[in-house]
Structure 1
Amino acid sequence: MRMGLAIDASCDLPQAFLQEHDITIMPITVKIDQEIFMDDRDPAELRRFLEHKLGSRGHAAETEPCSVEDVQKLFLEKLVLERDCVFCLTITATRSPINDHVIKASFAVLKHYREVREKAGQTGPFLMRVIDTRNLFAGAGPAIVEATRLIAAGEAPAAIRERLTHIANNSYGYMLPRDLYYLRARAKKKGDRSVGLVGAMLGTALGIKPLIRAYRGDTSPIGKIRGFEHGAETLFSYAAERVHAGLLVPVICISYGGDLADVPKLPGYAKLKAACDECGVALMEAPMSITGMVNVGEGALALGFAAEEHVAEF
């Protein structure tokens, strides 16, 4: 059986990894003033966004995830001919309509795929399975990495779906913003009141940053840390502890809303890398998607892993 993966553009993984595993990207359209960006994890488009310095105006952007019709077209014109089974992994349905769009599109795809395949001289059933990673940005990475391993191992679709659901339910994503004013402006536009004006002003004045966790579809601040560098060190040190404690998927995913060359310079990175090297855990670093930067601001740091349920105090 020819199995494959499709993910939405907000799932942060390295371009080389996506190409190696032939992972299809479901794009997001980003409109900022008169500029339109196609967020499909294309490095050239990402550079254009950063070079035009549009991040400061990104809080006013409009984002349009892949529509139901676009998903149908992608599958009926391409994927049903190239694959026999496709797993679609999306960021949490509580923060984006993309999961709902893919589920709705799947009904039409499964209804019409036979005629498409028969015209191309192909027989046999086509399977489409939609997985909500229940996480954001780098936090969606572990489930996708595990999916590639299971497909390579030749596991049955039912077993893959069960395992990915388990990983999604045990994936932890963390995000450290740089600019609270930006985060508040974006949250206000989307009707999210989790970052108040007073808190943003106080946090900026004192250099305090909220550490935001995504877990099982919920995203909320779980701690306050003074200074971005200290926040990065705290997050990296915590991740190193989880690496030593044991992960469900041997990978730590990091994404950053800027030049990736800046990440190894952050305090605590060396400690995390040493822990990963010692325990045989892959450390994957990727640019944050344009959509991610639009929602949380340039310079934000995200980190994700999958582990057994535990309590973390910051």
Structure 2
Amino acid sequence: MRIGLVVDSPCDLPDSYLSAHRISILPTNVRMGAAVIDDYRNPEATLQFLHTHLAERGWEAESSPFSVDQIRDLFLGKLVIDYDFVFCMTMTKTRSLIFDNAQQASFAILNEYKAVRAAAGNHSPFALRVIDTQNVFAAQGIAVVESVRLRDAGEGSPKIRARLENLALHTQGFLIPRDLNYMRERTRIRGDRSVGFLAAKLGTAFDIKPILHCNRGETGPVGKVKTFDSAAQKLFEHAVRRIERNELMTPTLCVSFGGELDELHTLPGFEKLRAACSARNVELFESVMSLSGMVNVGKGGLALGYAAETAKLEL
């Protein structure tokens, strides 16, 4: 069985990895004034958009998922021909309509694929499954890497599905915004009151950064640290402890950054994280944050994800 993998563009993994493993991208639309771009996770395009548009009034930008019809056309145009079963992995449905749109599109796809495959000389069945990773950005990458490992090991779709759905329950995602005023404006536009005016002003005045945690679709603060660099170091040290205790459910850790990766590498604690991953055979993925992610988190934000049993977070 030919198993295909699809991820939405907010999923933070290196472009080289996505290309090497033939992972298709379900894009999102990003609009900033008159400028519009389909986010296909192109790091160069993302950084160019960041420097020319997002750095100005990026909180006014709008990101929106592909429509049901656009997703349907993407599958019927290529994926139903190239594969027999497709896993489409999306960010948590609590933060975006991507999952819902993909789920709705799947009904039309399954009703219409036969004629498309027959025209290509293939009369065998096609199936797909939309998976809610229940997380965002770097943390979404955990399920994707595991699906590649299982597919390459020759596992069938039932085992892959069960593993991904279980892994979603235990994926731990973290975010550190650099600019709380930016985050407040973004949440205000989205109708989200999680970052209030007073909290943003006090946090900015005293340079206090929240460490946000996402698990099972729920996001909230688990720590507040003075200065962005100190917050990043604290998060990296937390990840190192979980690695050294052999607590990860998969040998994978993903990190993304809202800017050039050279700046990520200079953050305090990052080299210790890299060394801990190397010593324990944990694969560390570094990537530029998606354009959709930067629109919501802001320039210079940090995201990290791993899979482990939910426990008291030492932050």
TM-score by length of 1: 0.98
> Residues 191-217 of structure 1, C-alpha deviation per residue, up to 9 Å, x if partnerless?
110101111111111110011011000
Which whole-Å CA distance do the structure 2 matches of 1:195 and 1:181 have between them?
9
Q: Secondary structure at the match of 2:253?
A: strand
Contact 1:3 1:85 in 2 (8 A): yes
> Matches of 2:56 and 2:28 in 1, distance apart?
19
Task: Structure 2 unaligned segments of length 5 or more: list them.
Answer: none
Report the counterpart of residue 97 of structure 1 in structure 2: 97
Contact 1:30 1:61 in 2 (8 A): yes
Alignment of 1:30-45 (within 5 A): 30-45=30-45
Query: Is the contact made by 1:38 and 1:45 (CA closer than 8 Å) also made in structure 2?
Result: no
Alignment RMSD (CA, Å): 0.9
Deviations 1:72-112 (A, max 9, x none): 00111100000111100000000000000000000011111
The aligned runs of 1:18-57 (5 Å cut-off) are 18-57=18-57
Q: Conserved in 2, the CA contact under 8 Å of 1:55 and 1:293?
A: no
Distance 1:65 1:132 in 2: 15
Aligned to 2:141: 141
1:97-176 maps to which residues of 2 (within 5 A)?
Answer: 97-176=97-176
Q: Output the CA distance in 1 between the equivalents of 2:65 and 2:176.
A: 24
Structure 2 residue aligned with 1:304 = 305
Distance in 2 between residues matched to 1:153 and 1:160, nearest whole Å: 11
Q: Distance in 1 between matches of 2:151 and 2:56?
A: 40
Q: Is the Cα–Cα contact under 8 Å of residues 27 and 38 in structure 1 kept in the other structure?
A: yes
Is this contact kept in 1: 2:6–2:87, CA < 8 A?
yes
| Alpha-carbon distance between aligned partners in 1 of 2:285 and 2:120, rounded to the nearest angstrom | 38
Q: Is the 8 A contact 2:30 2:61 kept in 1?
A: yes
CA deviation after TM superposition for structure 1 residue 281, in Å: 0.4
How many Å separate the matches in 1 of 2:25 and 2:55? 22
Where 1:55 maps in the other structure, the secondary structure is: helix
Q: Which residue number in structure 1 is paired with residue 78 of structure 2?
A: 78
User: What residue in structure 2 maps to residue 272 of structure 1?
Assistant: 273
**Is the Cα–Cα contact under 8 Å of residues 55 and 294 in structure 1 kept in the other structure?**
no
Q: Secondary structure at the residue paired with 2:255? A: strand
User: Which 5+ residue runs of structure 1 have no aligned equivalent?
Assistant: none
SS at match of 2:146: helix
Q: Aligned equivalents of 2:43 and 2:195: distance in 1? A: 31
Instruction: Give 3-state SS (helix, strand or coil) of 2:238's partner.
Output: helix
Counterpart in the other structure of 2:290? 289
**Matched residue SS, 1:194:** coil
Moved more, 47-56 or 199-208: 47-56
> What is the CA distance between 1:38 and its match in structure 2?
1.4
Distance 1:71 1:196 in 2: 35
SS state at 1:52 partner: helix
| CA drift at 1:289 | 0.6
Q: Tell me, yes or no, if structure 1 residue 190 matches structure 2 residue 190.
A: yes
Q: Identify the residue that residue 251 of structure 2 maps to in structure 1.
A: 250
Aligned to 2:262: 261
Provide the identity percentage.
Answer: 47
TM-score normalised by length of structure 2:
0.98
Please state how far the C-alpha of 1:13 moved relative to its aligned partner. Answer: 0.4
Shift of 1:172: 0.4
> CA contact under 8 A between 2:32 and 2:53: conserved in structure 1?
no
What is the CA–CA distance in structure 1 between the aligned matches of 2:55 and 2:135, rounded to whole Å?
23
CA contact (8 A) 2:47 2:259 kept: no
Instruction: For 2:187 and 2:217, locate their aligned partners in 1 and report how far apart those are by CA, in whole Å.
Output: 17
CA contact (8 A) 1:68 1:104 kept: yes
